[in-house]
Chain A
Amino acid sequence: MKTNTLHEKVIIAGFGGQGIMLAGKLLGHTAMVAGKEVTYMPSYGAEVRGGTAHCMVVIDDEPIASPMVSNPTSLIVMNKASLSKFAPRLKSGGLLIVNSSLIEKNNLKDISADIKILAVPANEIAVELGNVKAANMVALGAFLQKRKLFGSEAAANSLPKVLAKRHHKTLPVNSKALNKGAEFAKEH
């Protein structure tokens, strides 16, 4: 059954330093510009580079009650620990974007059959573009393409608003990474 009302609950997870929060903020900002209701909630506290990090983004046509997501409709996981932690919480029929550069295929065999899985070699694609740190953008681009919420160009337009000014020299590679991720998702 297809409804026109949008209720998207996304968890993006990985280790600190992978740009998890940036990807979430970018998704949030893109949704805002598209005129949607949106909340972004980071995991906060003792998160440091190398530790685990996740954020939750809720996108809706109606006012959002809770920014907390226990059962996401979409999950983007950038490392193995995040897959084991969050994949069991995915709603049935949900979308799972996996960073296959760091998560081997055999880790996906327990995922229930009604989950749509897209394995994206996000690190490899980012390295090809010249900066491994753009892997988050590759994954987000792939997600945007699969969910068809907003185009990767819309996200690229929001990038300057969420990326700290001191990192603005990476805008081109991040924009490219968003597009590459979308292209990959189109082909797979």
Chain B
Amino acid sequence: MSERVLICGNEAMGEAAVMAGVDAYFGYPITPQNEFTAYMAKRMPEEGRIFLQTESELAAINMVYGASATGKRAMTSSSSPGISLMQEGISYLAGAELPAVVVNVMRGGPGLGNIAPSQGDYFQATRGGGHGDYRTIAIGPSTVQELIDYMQLAFELADEYRTPVTILADGILGQMMEPVTFRKRKPRKLPPKDWALTGAEGRGQNIVRSLWLKEGALENHNYKLQEKYKKIEKNEVICEQYAVDDAEIVLVAYGVAARMVKAAVIKARKHGIKAGWIRPVTLWPFPTEQISKAAEDFKIFLTVEMSLGQMVDDVKLAVEGKCPVLFYGRPGGGIPGPEQILEKIKQLSITPKATAIKS
């Protein structure tokens, strides 16, 4: 399949997961990600793999835990309220060091909120939304093509580091159709799953658990996890940037908001405003280094999100007070469009004043 096809994000992710070799999908319906579940219901049996519509999100994430413990590639997808219900299971996956891919097609919150696109779950995805001392890898694609391209990586990161990986999409990405090509990347070399529960014949017993009661055992386990998280932070950051070097204003955005920002920055440049952008693709691990480096020369940072400000905290931590970090966002289904972002850029720019004096 190398031809261009027109497909919505939810179905594209489904096919990408099939191509990435997902063995089992467990899910419970919720808008705006229903096409994902529906696609898997049709597609997984065709491949002789497992599709199961569960009785709840709790069941789904715990079935992911079970399937993953046997060494199989397992995943679930949901939208914000459903992902909240799954947090206990995600914490257990992190604790038991089990790979899993969790797709969150974000909608407006808190609570049941609405079904409109949102980026309000950034804190939940990047801080570890469940209890305990853990992190989950979070990837924030911004096109339907990237939903496909990062799916295989999500499974590989999950397997390599034995940790849950979240793909953070939103209602726009899930619902919109764009032309894409399905292309297979060369797979990463991955460690054998010698920890999996496959029947202990001819080998010692494997134990998958998140309970460590013996004195000092959990402390050691937490240090071990921490070491793993350090390695992920060192090796797995993905970040794009554009025209940052000479920029006076640097916009930071991810996902769909980054598309709007890119268009706004191109327009700003046409107006003679020195703007650039940094786009974190991995939200955790966050591109702290890249942003910190950009902040070495004085710039104004403007973070744009479809929320009232979550990733902006990480930008501030990266900038460390070296430059001002401002924020523009809209919550609950509001979309900061390119024109609105351009207005914000103009307000922050000193160039228009200079132009006014000249004329």
Q: Contact residues of A with B, CB < 8 Å?
A: 25, 28-29, 32, 37-42, 44-45, 63-68, 70, 161-162
Contacts and interface: CB of A to CB of B under 8 A. Distances in A.
B177 A39 contact: yes
A28 B5 CA distance: 10
Interface of B: 4, 6, 8, 31-32, 115, 171-172, 175-179, 259-260, 262-264, 335, 337-338
Contacts of A161: 6
Contacts of B32: 44-45
Contacts of B4: 32
Given A32-B6, A38-B6, A45-B115, A67 B31 contact: no
B175 A42 contact: yes
B77 to A, nearest CB: 16
A70 B339 CA distance: 11
A44 B176 CA distance: 10
Given A25-B6, A40-B6, A44-B32, A65 B338 contact: yes
B177 A25 contact: yes
Contact of B179 (A32, A42, A65, A68): A32
Those 4 A-B pairs whose CB atoms lie nearest each other, nearest first: A65-B263, A40-B177, A32-B179, A67-B176
Contact of A65 (B31, B175, B260): B260
Contacts of A44: 31-32, 115, 171, 175
Contacts of A37: 179
A70 B337 contact: yes
A123 to B, nearest CB: 27
A41 B337 contact: no
Given A32-B6, A66-B260, A68-B335, A41 B172 contact: yes
A41 B6 contact: no
A29 B262 CA distance: 25
Q: Which of the listed residues B115, B259, B260 has the most CB atoms from chain A within 10 Å of its own CB?
A: B259
Contact of A38 (B178, B262, B264): B178
A38 B32 CA distance: 21
A66 B177 contact: no
25 contacts: A28-B6, A28-B177, A32-B6, A32-B179, A38-B179, A39-B176, A39-B178, A40-B8, A40-B176, A41-B175, A41-B177, A44-B32, A44-B175, A45-B31, A45-B115, A63-B262, A65-B260, A65-B262, A65-B338, A66-B263, A66-B338, A67-B176, A67-B178, A161-B6, A162-B6
A20 to B, nearest CB: 14
Contacts of A42: 175
